[in-house]
Amino acid sequence: THQVLTGVCLLPPKAAPCAWVSRTEVTFHPLTAEAIRHYFSLVSPLDKAGAYAIQEHGELLVASYRGLLSNVIGLPVEDVLERLSSLYPDFPPSAN
C-alpha cells in the first residue's frame, strides 16, 4: 500500500488562499516479476510518476484504492470543484 498525495492551492482574488493536500491510498496485488514485465509490455512506465498509470491497465496492478481516483490520475477534480463551490457561491456558472 502506498499513498498518492497532491498539494493544491487556489488563490482567489478577494479571499485568503485555499490550500490542501488530497490523499489516496493505493494497494497493489501481490506482484510477480512476470506480472510486472507483462504490465510494462503494455504501458511505458518511464513517463509516469510511480512508474504506473491506474487508468492504463491499472487493474493488473491495483487491488484497491481508498480516496479519489482522479487524485491518482493527476488532479483531485472532485476536491477542486468542492472548494471552488465554497469560494464562489455561483460556481459552476449556469448554462443560461
Mean pLDDT of the chain: 92
Grid cell, residue 3, equals 499513498
The sign of the dihedral angle between the CA atoms of 73, 46, 28, 2 is: negative
Structural domains present in the chain: 2-87 (3.90.950.10)
pTM of whole model > 0.95?
Answer: no
Contacts of 77 (CB under 8 A, 6+ apart): 68, 70
Q: Is 8 a residue whose pLDDT tops 60?
A: yes
Q: What is the mean pLDDT of residues 20-33?
A: 97
Alpha helices (H) in 18-76, listed in sequence order: 33-42, 69-73
Q: Residue 94 pLDDT more than 70?
A: no
Q: Please give the share of the chain, as a percent, with pLDDT higher than 90.
A: 74
Average pLDDT over residues 35-62: 91
Of the CA atoms within 13 Å of residue 8, those in its CB half-sphere come to: 21
